[in-house]
Structure 1
Amino acid sequence: MIGNTALADRLHLSDGESVGGTLVSVADGKVNWSNPILGELSVEQFHVRLIETEERYDLKTSSGVLENCWMYTERSRQHVHCDQGVQTLADWKLVVAAGEAVTEPPPLLTQRGDASFAFENISGNSDITRYDLNVRSEIRYIESRHTLALRYQEESADSQTNRNQWRTSYQYDQFLTEQWFATGNAFYEEDEFRELDQRSSVGAGMGYQFFETSFVDLSAKTTLNYLDEQFATGLERQNMAFLWNLDFIWRFNERGMELFHRHAFLHAFDSSDDYEVTTSTGFKYPINGSFSSVIQLDYDYDNLPAETAIDKTDQRWTIGINYDW
């Protein structure tokens, strides 16, 4: 809800400066502000520390909508007084929209994704070649979300391949509320390095979207999966397993600088020793346009590999190029 110009409204920035005027809206990671002298201003949310208003606004945060709110500060903390009561706002980066932006209908279909590629070639005393490709795409249609991912790694030394691994996965999320969603997943992988001929799995469960803003995404989900594994040694395993996933992205600014972390914990029901952890943690730094550099650590731990001679721990650092769309 937008009122008339209220010069008592004040925008406080993280560098200590402040600007009078009127809050127009919050949208797309920016606070839109009107000042009678400076005109229309657009300030990135991570620069905003506090806002004071006399007029009332609707706020959409990562946890829901707050209606008919006016904003004030007390002891250098942001408070909002809404129809739902008085609440403390920890950070303006967690506000998805405010004012006119709350009533604007969201797009029916959104899509985003990224692909990263790393290549290394060493010649001389030893000839070593390494490839690492990661592709991830997310499609959101109203209350449903589809996520597809592909990972391929290959390494050879002196013309002998000593690593050849690829994995593809699909996840479907159906939101039941603003944050709770039902989820289903399927994945398939092969890993010659771990004597894994093939492994496939399907599962279903529930998830929770803690945050989904222009600056931070955080979600977690648990599923019950059927797991089918076939190893090069002739060993086969089929069992039910518990799968826990966590996805986290912190975007430092709109130019593409971000920190990300994803991990999965898979535990078979029939054996307390049969579990594994897979993690990917990295940092992206923008280069130009949609391109950025990425440094990433992949850490995998398999407590029950196909053979005792195979190392349970697999750790790999990569530096490559990332493309966002």
Structure 2
Amino acid sequence: MFTRTLLCVSLSAAAMPLMADTVWMKNGDRLTGTIRLLDGGKLLLETDYGGSIPLSWSKIATLQSDHELLVKENQITGERAKSLLASDEGKVTLANGDTPKTVELASIKQIMKPKPFVEDFLWKGNVDVAMDYKRAESDTDDYDVDLKTQARHGKWRHNATVDYNRELRNDVVSTDNWGTEYALDRFLDEQWFWQGRLEYKRDKIEDLARERTVGTGPGYQFWDNELGALSVAGLLNRTDYEYADGEKDNFYAISMRWDYNRYLVGKTFELFSTGEVGKPLASVADYSLDAEIGLRYKVTDWASLNMKASKDQVSGSDGDKDETRYTVGFGVGW
């Protein structure tokens, strides 16, 4: 009975231009929109009437799409389907030329849109804000703002970050620092790229008052798709330190940088981590570490709640630095 009904619906839909993907639920509901991804048992359907809707994969009868999608029946290999065709309940047909293949929905682990190597223009980013006010025997005002944005054009990728931290205890400033960074990546193929970057940090409280870094080196993009991204880069850096007492140091160092994010449960959660660990080639410092790890929970398509731990450490220099921060706040993404 389901197959007969589905055939009638499909024939009716074929009589008009297909403007959207279609998902048939086991309870008889029919939803239209754009299929974004399947992961963690949730199919993310973007609609113009309800935003992004996560649908339980086990409740879906079948689906169809005119868009090219990457369909994975395991976590490693996948098949690019030119389109998806509705089939019997619990099945879908992968249309790919003259050899369509019908598979069980239960066998499919992931669905996502293939990401092109060369893109005309893509811009994304987020701003996270955390504020904490405590009024007791010891009053505390804490502010933390982080901006991260990325733009991709052809084989070029622009990365920029800005962060600001300030804390007052009983009207006395105990933390006051900010930093900014710009990195430019030139992709040599789909995974290898060459990076150049500039970084500046200013701290009005710690002995290490200013850090300036210029670096360059190769990088590797392990993956970059609808489910997230992971890239690493090995850099040769020139760093200048300026201390609060006016003393200065400069040296060369090698470092390893990483940038990771992974969406979970139909993009409801995002796990992210960025950072850099470096080793000076001179005896100015033993090592440096600047890293963060956190989790975002999406409240809407653009708003999220986040919690994050960050660490900024320089060991073995005249102005040793070891700062760890934990923040919970609100974010906006695009």
TM-score range (shorter-chain normalised) is 0.7 to 0.9
Is contact 2:86-2:93 (8 Å) kept? no
Matched, 1:150 2:162: yes
Q: How does 1:133-144 map to 2 (within 5 A)?
A: 133-144=145-156
Output the CA distance in 1 between the equivalents of 2:71 and 2:205. 43
Q: How does 1:75-90 map to 2 (within 5 A)?
A: none
Output the CA distance in 2 between the equivalents of 1:17 and 1:164. 51
Output the CA distance in 1 between the equivalents of 2:325 and 2:63. 52
SS in 2 for 1:153: strand
SS in 1 for 2:299: strand
RMSD between aligned alpha carbons? 3.7
Q: What's the TM-score once normalised by structure 2's chain length?
A: 0.70
Q: Which amino acid aligns with 1:318?
A: T
Match of 1:35 among 59, 66, 86: 86
Output the CA distance in 1 between the equivalents of 2:150 and 2:292. 18
Is contact 2:85-2:93 (8 Å) kept? no
How far the C-alpha of 1:21 sits from its partner, in A, is: 7.8
Match of 1:249 among 243, 261, 281: 261
Is contact 2:241-2:249 (8 Å) kept? yes
Identical-pair percentage: 21
Is contact 1:227-1:238 (8 Å) kept? yes
Match of 2:96 among 48, 56, 60: 56
Aligned residue number for residue 171 of structure 2: 159
The superposition leaves residues 89-111 of structure 1 with CA deviations (integer Å, 9 ceiling, x where unpaired) of xx635x542xxx97xx9651110
Is contact 2:187-2:194 (8 Å) kept? yes
Output the CA distance in 2 between the equivalents of 1:246 and 1:289. 26
Output the CA distance in 2 between the equivalents of 1:264 and 1:316. 16
Q: Which amino acid aligns with 1:35?
A: A
Is contact 1:277-1:300 (8 Å) kept? yes
In the alignment, structure 2 segments of 5+ residues that lack a partner are 1-9, 11-37, 42-56, 73-80
Q: How does 1:87-98 map to 2 (within 5 A)?
A: 92=110, 96-97=113-114
SS in 2 for 1:193: coil
Match of 2:312 among 296, 300, 303: 300
Aligned residue number for residue 333 of structure 2: 324
Matched, 1:117 2:129: yes
Change in 2 beyond 3 A, CA 1:232/1:22? closer
Change in 2 beyond 3 A, CA 1:22/1:148? closer
Output the CA distance in 1 between the equivalents of 2:312 and 2:165. 14
Output the CA distance in 2 between the equivalents of 1:28 and 1:154. 45
Q: Which amino acid aligns with 2:288?
A: E
Change in 2 beyond 3 A, CA 1:303/1:106? closer
Output the CA distance in 2 between the equivalents of 1:108 and 1:116. 27
Is contact 2:166-2:175 (8 Å) kept? yes
SS in 1 for 2:151: strand
The superposition leaves residues 37-93 of structure 1 with CA deviations (integer Å, 9 ceiling, x where unpaired) of 79xxxxxxxxx9x9775x536xxxxxxxxxx998798xx988xxxxxxxxxxxx635
Output the CA distance in 1 between the equivalents of 2:136 and 2:58. 56
Matched, 1:314 2:326: no
How far the C-alpha of 1:143 sits from its partner, in A, is: 0.8
Q: How does 1:224-243 map to 2 (within 5 A)?
A: 224-243=236-255
Output the CA distance in 2 between the equivalents of 1:121 and 1:29. 48
How far the C-alpha of 1:286 sits from its partner, in A, is: 1.5
Q: Which amino acid aligns with 2:122?
A: T
Change in 2 beyond 3 A, CA 1:161/1:25? same
Change in 2 beyond 3 A, CA 1:292/1:206? same
Is contact 1:130-1:156 (8 Å) kept? yes
Is contact 1:51-1:72 (8 Å) kept? yes
How far the C-alpha of 1:242 sits from its partner, in A, is: 0.9
Change in 2 beyond 3 A, CA 1:18/1:289? closer
SS in 1 for 2:221: strand
Change in 2 beyond 3 A, CA 1:51/1:299? farther
Output the CA distance in 2 between the equivalents of 1:242 and 1:121. 40
In the alignment, structure 1 segments of 5+ residues that lack a partner are 6-11, 39-47, 58-67, 79-90
Q: How does 1:185-196 map to 2 (within 5 A)?
A: 185-196=197-208
Q: What's the TM-score once normalised by structure 1's chain length?
A: 0.72
Output the CA distance in 1 between the equivalents of 2:63 and 2:142. 56
Q: How does 1:169-318 map to 2 (within 5 A)?
A: 169-253=181-265, 255-271=267-283, 273-307=285-319, 312-318=321-327
